Structure 1
Amino acid sequence: METKPIVVAFPFAGDDFGGSDISAVHLILALDRTKVQPVIMLHSNKGDFSKYLNGKNISYIGINDADVLRPRHGNSVQRMALAAAKYPWTMFKLLRFLRQHKIDIVHTNNGLVHTTWALPTVLSGAKLLWHHRGDPTAKGVNMLAPLLASHVVTVSKFAQPSAPVISLKNRLSVIHSPFDHPTDIPDREECRLAVTRELGLREDTHFVGYFGALIDRKRPLRFVEAVHAFHKQNPDFPVAGLLFGPPEQYGIRMDGEVMALAEKLGIADRIHLMGFRLPVAPYMCSVDILLVPAVNEPFGRTLIEAMLLGTPVIATDHGGNPEAIDHGQTGFLVEPENPSAFVEPMKILLTNKAEWRRISETARTSALAGYGVARHVDSIVNIYRQLAGRTEFE
């Protein structure tokens, strides 16, 4: 007897674009359509995320007349009140959408979408899979998810809710994000030289990189301070810091702060805002080291992407970073909030080619063995099957 696929809705805000969105797309692309039929929805199709989907030939449904439960920009009381006042209409639209498309499961992937879709999902009779990729102390995953979610997935042990209002026993899984294994790694020297030419720098300049949104949790200012600390101890070594990522998140800009700090420290010529760029591989390969100064980072995608490409990582010993890095073997872990702690491992990797090569090769081998799309998809689909009450896939 032919079995209908499980219909899973993937809603996205659309005007934001980050690692959670990329991870969800990796999952969507890998799903077996005979078993799971994804339905992708965007609240806004005016941002880079819609372009990303178009580039991968992924079709989606626009729901522009139903706002996510937050103000588009800023967080004033007035805007919050307006967003809350509009929510009953939004909830009605989403409820009608879920019933119209006969959705079995709603798979939400970030805080804005969790809070917007949780209640309509439950009222529609569908199951809610709450995929938490953020702070373990976040109110949503501790207060709303335990009450409304059918199952909660976290991207690391660190990201598990710290104080859920009711037990999530048998409704909580830790599943690492999916990562494609690169088949062709760009030539590192060509990539580095391309960036030196773009920026008009000396050809012997070496780069350390920051990849991610310029938001406080990721600590872009600590990145600048780490580059300054290294330069202060090694003034003749030609090194520059490259920050790849969007400067704005929910109306808060840090690009100005980054450059103001670089100017204050006297290294404005060594700090470069590169913006958001795709594909990421050529730029990840242009840097000698990825620096991750973030705190409370649940499980950053760029850390694993760097390892898969053979770019050594120095990260804070905080959040989900220790779950990915074996200190001294697959990378280095340093004290958080201490930019000077980056200096010694930076010096090792920038001046000792044999040690750079050892870390690069060990990290890549470890990442290839531990992170892949197939393992992630199998784990998620198994949860879909359980939520939908299916046994046919076994």
Structure 2
Amino acid sequence: MLPSYIVFASTSGRCGLSVHTIDWVRALAEAGHPVTLIVCAKDYFTPYLNDTPVRIIQLPLPENMPFYKTFRFWSKALKPYPAQRAVYPRGVGGSSSLSILAALRFRYPRLYTIEHAMANLPQIAWGKPEPRHTPVRTIRNVVASRLVSRSIAVSECTRQSVIQHYDFPANRIVTRHNWVDVKRFQPALAARTQLRSGIGVEEHDFLIGFVGRLVIEKRVDAILQGFAAFVSTSPRKAHLVLVGDGMLKVLRALATKLGVADKVHFVGMVNDTAPWMSAVDTLILASNSEAFALVGLEAMASGAILLAQPVGGLLEYVEHGKNGYLANLNTPEQFAAWWTTISKLQPEERELLQKNALRTAVIFRPAVKLAAFLEALDAPVAANFLREKEAKS
């Protein structure tokens, strides 16, 4: 029988972390590994895994408690769910509750963590802000790193940040890039026409898209300000569509204040973002920090021209001017200038960018990147199963 896995998932909604988790949990289960998924907040996973044998258990996160009480709580809560290996996807690179790590390692022989975010300083870790090099912090880092059998970072920049800021041993953290389903994310003319028509955008209009959480760190307010500057100078009719949820009330008010409310479309959270990737002409990523930015690869696979800041994991797959654009986007004028450049691309220039972007996306398909990730989880059978599945299709 193949080794069993227990996955400790603390994410509370649709984000890169949860999408990533669903993919590899499904791959483990389809290959025959018994998998139990512990959900510690809102259960986002059941609708996406109900056709698999994955067992999903919802356990509430306890209120803030001292180390020994939290350790005792999780040790007891996890006892009914035996497994040979535990996996803990962490939203903030290198950071998590030491008591949770200790409880997981106490119950399970091997513990893997997955680092989905940059470990930037200053960082709030272990429940309160701390300078990096305090004796207490150093001891905690050392203890935490000893509990983990192997850590997997979704980009090399994330790996380096965890090593640097959390004193993690370099020989026990590996880089395994995210993956994109190029069969799901691909140009789709029918979806493009339908979605654009639904928000009053003509085919010859220039549609800018943002897909993700509408939160401060994604700098959606800066995107709106840049869009207002672009609209004021662009000879081509332009629209902006925001796909995701978050600060809707604040952003709607800002769009009104900037005088572009009639050109900004809030579509909210959607279960399938692939059609919207086909609908937009360009996708914008304005964050100052990105561990990988899977949404960028999804856009590239779908035919949307990517414009992003030159940060984090984006530097590991975007080649400026070849398969997308990387630019400093610090002022509204900089946004406007780059959107002007993209909107004026000749058909042959746009087609070349799209072809190169698709070639890049294919390199990151699941049979390559997800298979390598599964091998890092010591699941070679699941990795080979995935490769054989692609070969047959």
Give TM class, smaller chain. Answer: 0.7 to 0.9
Question: Could you tell me how far apart the structure 2 residues matched to 1:134 and 1:230 are?
Answer: 31
Tell which deviates more after alignment, 375-384 or 260-269.
375-384
The alpha carbon displacement at 1:298 in A equals 0.8
Residue of structure 2 in register with 1:181 after alignment: 182
- Choose the corresponding residue for 1:122, options 102, 105, 112: 105
Matches within 5 A, 1:208-227: 208-227=208-227
Quick check: 1:63 aligned with 2:61?
A: no
Shift of 1:109: 1.4
User: Could you tell me how far 1:85 is from its partner in structure 2?
Assistant: 3.0
| Counterparts of 2:239 and 2:175, CA distance in 1 | 37
Equivalent residue number for residue 168 of structure 1: 169
Of residues 27, 32, 49, the one that matches 1:30 is 27
Contact 1:348 1:355 in 2 (8 A): no
Matched, 1:280 2:273: yes
Give CA-to-partner distance per residue, 1:255-296, whole Å, 9 cap, x none.
222222212211111111111112111111110000111111
Per-residue Cα deviation, 1:72-95 (whole angstroms, up to 9, x for no partner): xxxxxxxxxxx2139866644532
- Aligned residue pairs total 358
Q: Are the structure 2 counterparts of residues 148 and 164 from structure 1 closer, same or farther at C-alpha, using a change threshold of 3 Å?
A: farther
- CA separation of 1:383 and 1:57: change in aligned 2, threshold 3 A: closer
C-alpha distance in structure 1 between counterparts of 2:153 and 2:28, whole Å: 19
CA RMSD across the alignment: 2.9
Letter of the 2:86 counterpart? V
Query: 1:51-80: CA deviations, max 9, x gaps?
Result: 3334x556432233x31x6xxxxxxxxxxx
Partner of 1:251: none
Within a 5 Å distance, the mapping from 1:6-85 to structure 2 comes to 6-13=3-10, 15-31=12-28, 36-44=33-41, 46-54=42-50, 57=52, 59-64=54-59, 66-67=60-61, 83-85=63-65
Q: Measured at CA, do residues 89 and 22 of structure 1 come closer, stay the same or move farther in structure 2, by a change above 3 Å?
A: same
Q: Aligned equivalents of 2:14 and 2:185: distance in 1?
A: 25
Conserved 8 A contact 1:350-1:356: no
- The answer to whether residue 265 in structure 2 is matched with residue 265 in structure 1 is no
Q: Distance in 2 between matches of 1:306 and 1:231?
A: 23
Matched, 1:367 2:361: yes
Contact 2:217 2:288 in 1 (8 A): yes
Post-superposition shift, 1:224? 0.9
Give the TM-score normalised by structure 2.
Answer: 0.81
The reply on whether 1:357 has 2:351 as its aligned counterpart is yes
TM-score in terms of structure 1 length: 0.81
Distance 1:336 1:168 in 2: 35
- Residues 37 and 329 of structure 1: is their aligned pair in 2 closer, same or farther, counting only changes over 3 Å? same
Name the stretch that deviates more: 324-333 or 209-218.
Answer: 209-218
Runs of 5+ in structure 2 lacking a partner? 127-131, 133-139, 380-393
Aligned to 1:75: none
Structure 2 counterpart of 1:250: none
- 1:175/1:146 Cα in 2 relative to 1: closer, same or farther (>3 Å)? same
Pairing of 1:226-241 with structure 2 (within 5 A):
226-234=226-234, 236-241=235-240
